[in-house]
Amino acid sequence: MSSPNKRVCALMISAIALRLHAQDVTRDRTVPTVSVKAHSFIGALIQVASQFELPLAVEWIQSPDALKPVDLTRNDINASGMFDAVVSAHPGYSWTFENGVVHVFQESIANDPRNPLNVRLDAIAERSWTLPDADNYLFGLVAPIVRHAAPKEIAGTPPSWGEPQFSLASSRGPVHEILDRLITCSKMKIWIATFPEVRPLNSRGFWEVTPMYDPKYVRPENQPFWILLRWGDAPWKRLENPER
């Protein structure tokens, strides 16, 4: 039983993700008016997820189209309708609801073996974690597979901020499934993997992500493959301006 200061959330990663149709989104209530005014596709998705309080996972490409402003207002609409409105305006993107998380993905990269989010990890032993520990641990498992150098701790790892404790245990499964479990059991409710429009392969045969930290200060091998946000957070600067 959970105590007031500790929430335990068991995470069992199955080999096959439960995939549901978009119309099966839980808590899909209708609201009178939803307005989205964002600098980019990713900003619009964050706003919709935050307004409906739905965990969100995004695998996207920083193309010129995805970096254009989004301005939408819909009346008497639910979460499914709003995600449909935002995603359908961007060719090549789809969304599903799986494992309690809204997944928005660029169809050309989502299932590609060159995508580091599709790396399958060995079993993770059960123990108690907080989000920053689990995030660093997961990065430490993925980086040596995708990159040659052993990783250092991710720069800028989210602080605990009263994060709950949870039990992380998994059978062999892909990285994106484990990330889903992290955002359903923590105060971070969004994970985002960002890819550049041109994606040359690295020496291990994987695509590299767009750097989220200035490469002058954070070496390429220490750049995160994903970032974590809370509902209501503003997009990181490099999400909407890769050169900044």
Q: Tens digit of pLDDT for each residue in 138-168?
A: 999 999 999 976 555 554 555 556 777 887 7
Please say if the pLDDT value at position 6 is more than 60: no
Q: Provide the pLDDT for residue 168.
A: 74
Please say if the pLDDT value at position 68 is more than 90: yes
Integer distance in angstroms from the first to the last C-alpha of the chain? 46
Give the DSSP letter of residue 3: B
Question: pLDDT confidence of 70, banded at 50, 70, 90?
Answer: very high
Please say if the pLDDT value at position 52 is more than 70: yes
Tokens of 233: 């957070």
Residue among 70, 84, 25, 72 at smallest CA distance from 52: 25
Least confident window among 13-27, 50-64, 191-205: 13-27
Integer Rg of the chain from CA: 17
Question: pLDDT confidence of 31, banded at 50, 70, 90?
Answer: confident
Question: pLDDT confidence of 19, banded at 50, 70, 90?
Answer: very low
Q: Provide the pLDDT for residue 3.
A: 38
pTM: 0.86
Give the domain ranges of the chain.
Answer: 1-244
Tokens of 65: 């189209």
Q: Provide the pLDDT for residue 176.
A: 94
Question: pLDDT confidence of 242, banded at 50, 70, 90?
Answer: confident
pLDDT single digits (tens) 169-226? 666 789 999 999 899 989 999 999 999 999 999 999 999 999 999 988 998 888 999 9
pLDDT single digits (tens) 81-136? 999 999 999 999 999 998 889 999 999 999 999 999 999 988 777 788 888 888 99
Q: Provide the pLDDT for residue 163.
A: 76
